[in-house]
Amino acid sequence: MLNKLLGKNKKDSNDSEITQKVSKMDLNDMRIYVNNKLTDFKICEDGLVEVMRRLNSQHGKPPKRFIEDDSMDTKIKKAFDLVILVASSKKITVAAVELIQEFIEIYAEMIKKFDSDNKQTYESKLKRSMDNAIVTVAGMSAYKEKMAFLGD
């Protein structure tokens, strides 16, 4: 129970399916997935972690991140909005929160530049969403702890 909340599930065939499906998604597909609007593929804790891994990871030759300094403003905005959406999900885990924090650290300069160029406030929005995700995880942990106590 606590392992699932911490994102330390045992690997199974479902994990590889999630990884494969998320690896083929673009920003719009990931947003639809996180909103739980896909009929054939339901949102899960591992899926949120995979979405955040995809946003943080480097791929291709030469290795590039999902969004780069030369990416279009709309793509950058969609990526920031997707991170906020992941953070507000009720399926969030500690592993996903750690990946959100990593995203904010990796893209800190890009976030500041985007905010100043476009008169946005994504720096504060992302930090606030991460704080809310931490509160959500703590609340779920307390709830599961109470349920385990009552169940014993």
Q: What is the pLDDT of residues 121-151, one digit of tens each?
A: 999 999 999 999 999 999 998 888 888 888 8
Q: What is the DSSP letter of 59?
A: E
- The pLDDT, as a whole number, for residue 28 is 93
- The pLDDT, as a whole number, for residue 128 is 96
- The pLDDT, as a whole number, for residue 66 is 86
Please state the pTM of the whole predicted model. 0.85
- The pLDDT, as a whole number, for residue 152 is 59
Q: Which two tokens stand for residue 127?
A: 């930090």
* Residue 13 confidence class, pLDDT cut points 50, 70, 90: low
Q: Which two tokens stand for residue 137?
A: 């995880």
- The pLDDT, as a whole number, for residue 33 is 93
Per DSSP, the three-state class of 6 is: helix
| pLDDT, averaged across the chain | 88
* Whether pLDDT at 43 is above 80: yes
- The pLDDT, as a whole number, for residue 8 is 53
- The pLDDT, as a whole number, for residue 30 is 93
Residue-wise pLDDT for 85-96, tens only, equals 999 999 999 999
